[in-house]
A and B are shown apart, each in its own frame.
Chain A
Amino acid sequence: MRVRVLLFGPYAVAANAGHIDVDVPDNANASGVLRSISMGFPALAAMVAGARLAVNHSFALDDDAVRAGDELALIGMVSGG
């Protein structure tokens, strides 16, 4: 399946886009999505190591399932305040 992953801050700058569309297996989990981003998007590969995936506005655990229609976001180093 293809999932859309939202990008913010330096991640959006590196990819020059506010989102990316990522092909993942139908039974993908959060760590699998991160792995697919790392392999499929060279501009983000070096930054994915320190990032977390949010699924429907909550940080996901590595084994959490990802389903079509979920809102995914790559949450890297944040810098509010």
Chain B
Amino acid sequence: MSTLPRIVIVDGPVPEDFAFGAAAASESDEVGAELVFDGIVRRMEADRPLRALSYEVYSPMAERAIEELARAMIAKHTLASLDVVHSRGLVPVGERSMRVVVRAAHRGESLAATGEFIDRLKKDVPIWKLPVWG
């Protein structure tokens, strides 16, 4: 049994202690793997020092596209859940710009789903980042 994806856009960095809340009881019984992926702004981009990345999000298309993609990953990889929080606006170097939390019965599905989800997000979801050079 899977739960609906939770999609959140936050202004600025994703807080280190950001949490989506407790999983449903029926989901927890089936979950043997929980994978948390954090995207972090690197200090260097193309050999130039960065100060930050500025994220632009085309709402509500971006949220809808993330939700459709999350639903597709849940179905394809038989996940219990896939939740996403993504930044909008300025994210300084070293801060988080995205967190993806995937729960599944086994590690294989969660690892495969996380990789595919991020690859497709970077291709199909209308979010852009612009460098703010240091």
- Do A and B come together as binding partners? yes
Give A contacts to B, CB under 8 Å: 6, 8-10, 12-13, 54, 57-58, 73, 75, 78-81
Distance to closest chain B CB from A3 (angstroms): 17
Give B contacts to A, CB under 8 Å: 39, 55-58, 60-62, 64, 86, 97-98, 118, 121-130
- Please indicate the chain B residues that have their CB under 8 angstroms from the CB of A9 in the complex: 56, 128-130
19 chain-A/chain-B pairs, Cβ below 8 angstroms: A8-B58, A9-B56, A12-B56, A13-B130, A54-B58, A54-B61, A73-B126, A75-B58, A75-B126, A78-B123, A78-B126, A78-B127, A80-B55, A80-B57, A80-B62, A80-B86, A80-B127, A80-B128, A81-B118
- Please indicate the chain A residues that have their CB under 8 angstroms from the CB of B130 in the complex: 9-10, 13
Distance to closest chain A CB from B12 (angstroms): 15
Consensus secondary structure, chain A interface? mixed
- Please indicate the chain A residues that have their CB under 8 angstroms from the CB of B129 in the complex: 9, 79-80
Chain B, residue nearest A54 (CB)? B61
| Given A9-B128, A81-B98, also A73-B39 (CB < 8 A) | no
Q: Are B86 and A73 in contact (CB under 8 A)?
A: no
- Please indicate the chain B residues that have their CB under 8 angstroms from the CB of A8 in the complex: 56, 58, 126, 128
Chain A, residue nearest B55 (CB)? A80
Bound together, the chains give a CA A70 to CA B55 distance in angstroms of 25
